[in-house]
Amino acid sequence: MPVTAIVGANWGDEGKGKMTDVLSADSSYVVRFQGGSNAGHTIINEYGKFALHMLPSGVFYPNVMNVIGPGTALDADVLFKERDELVARGVPEPKLAVSNRSQIVLPVHRLFDELEEERLGVRSFGSTKQGIAPFYADKYAKLGIQVADLYDENRLMGRLEQMLDAKNVLLNHMYGKPSMHAEELAKALKEQGEKLRPYVVDTTQMLNEAYRNGETILLEGQLGALRDPDHGIYPFSTSSSTLAGFATVGAGLPAHAIGSVVAVVKAYSSCVGAGPFVSELEGEEAEQLRRRGGDAGEYGALTGRPRRVGWFDAVATRYGCMVQGATEIALTNLDVLGYLDQIPVCVAYELEDGTVTDRFPVSAELEHAKPVIETFEGWTCDISEARSFDALPEAARRYIAFIEAYVQVKAKYISVGPRRDQLITRVI
C-alpha cells in the first residue's frame, strides 16, 4: 500500500523502530506524526545500535525523505544532536524535511515538566521530563510557537510574551522560581531557526503530491495505543494521540490515505512509567524476563529505567489492535520466550467486584483488576535463526495462532531477534 501506518498496540516499547527501519528500505518517505523526544526507537543495523528520539526511523537509508510532521513536538536540540551523532558514526547525511507548521518544544516546557513532577511526588505520572505535556497544553491553548514564527521577529516576540504572561505568575508564586524573559528565549529560538532553515518546507503539500503520485509513505507512531489520552490508561497517558486514526492529521494527509495499519505487538508485555499494568511480574520472575528481553534487557531507550514486564496480555492487545484499526500485526521478541517450559498468558481480567471480563475496561476499573492466566507449552529452544514460519517449532506456531485468533488480526511479520534480518514475513 502507498501509505502504511506503523503503530503500537500496547504501552509502547513494542519494537516499532525496527519495523519502520525494515520497511523503510522500500519507502520514499518516513513521517513522524505525533509525540516528541519523550520515547526512543531502538534500531540495530550495519552501522551499530541507535536509539532515536526525534529523528524518524528511515534515516539510515539515503533514498528516504524523513519528515517531521505538523503534529509533532519538535525538540530541535535533540534533532540536531541525533543527526550529528549519526554522521559521526558513519551514517550518510540523512534527508530531512521539517514542517513549517510543526511547533517547538521550549526550555520553559521542560522546566514546567520537571517542576510539576517534583511537586506531585508520589502522585506523579512518570513523565520523562522532556516537556511534552506542557508543550501540548500550550498548543491546544493556542500559545505555541510554530516553526514559521521563528522567521518573523515581531511575531515571535509577541507570541512569547503572551505565553509567558501566565507562566511567570506560576513560576514566581507556585514554584518559587524566577521569571523567564521573552528576549532570552527569542535569541535562542532565532539561532535554532537558522539551523532549521535548510530543512523547513511545506511538508503537507510535499506529502500530498507524493501520495497522488503513488509514492510509498510510512507513518511512524510513537508509544502505543494504551498511552493514548482518549483510549488509553488515562491519566497515565501521553499528551498526543498515539492512534493510526490521528496519523493522517499529524502528517497532513487526507483521512482516506492509509491503506494498511501495522500494529506492533510484543510476545510478552513491557512498559516504562506509571499506571495500571495487569499482567505485571515482580521479583525474580520479572528479572529473568527483563534480562532476556529486548536487545540488551528491558530498559527504557531514553530514561534507562528498568521496564516493568509481564506476560502477554491478550485482553489489552486485542483492544489495542481494535482501536488502532490494525490490518496486520508485527509480533516482536518471540525469541525471548525460548527459556520457558510453560508460557503464561493473561486471557481475562478479574475486576474488583469479582466480575471476569475479556474486554479492556476503563481506568477506574482497571486499577484493581487481576489477571486470569492460561498456560501454553513452551518451545524451549533458540529460534533466532528461523527465517520462515515453517522453520519455527510447533509450540511457537501454536502460540502465534492463539494470539492471532484472540486479537482477530493475522501476524504478517514475526521478529525473532533485534537485527534487520531476524524477521519472518508471511503472506496473509
21, 41, 53, 75: which is the annotated catalytic residue?
41
Check: CB of residue 242 under 8 Å from CB of residue 35. Answer: yes
Check: CB of residue 234 under 8 Å from CB of residue 361. Answer: no
CA 350, CA 372: separation in Å to the nearest integer?
7
CA 160, CA 181: separation in Å to the nearest integer?
9
CA 37, CA 157: separation in Å to the nearest integer?
25
13 is catalytic: yes
Residue 164, Cα to own-chain centre: how many angstroms?
30
My answer on whether omega of the bond before 2 falls inside 30° of 0, hence cis, is no
Check: CB of residue 31 under 8 Å from CB of residue 248. Answer: no
**Cell numbers placing 418:** 533485534
CA distances to 154, 160, 236, 255 from 147, rounded to whole Å, are 14, 13, 29, 24
Residue 193 phi/psi, 5-degree rounding, is -60, -40
13, 75, 228, 313: which is the annotated catalytic residue?
13
CA 186, CA 226: separation in Å to the nearest integer?
37
**Cell numbers placing 394:** 510447533
- Catalytic residue numbers read 13, 41
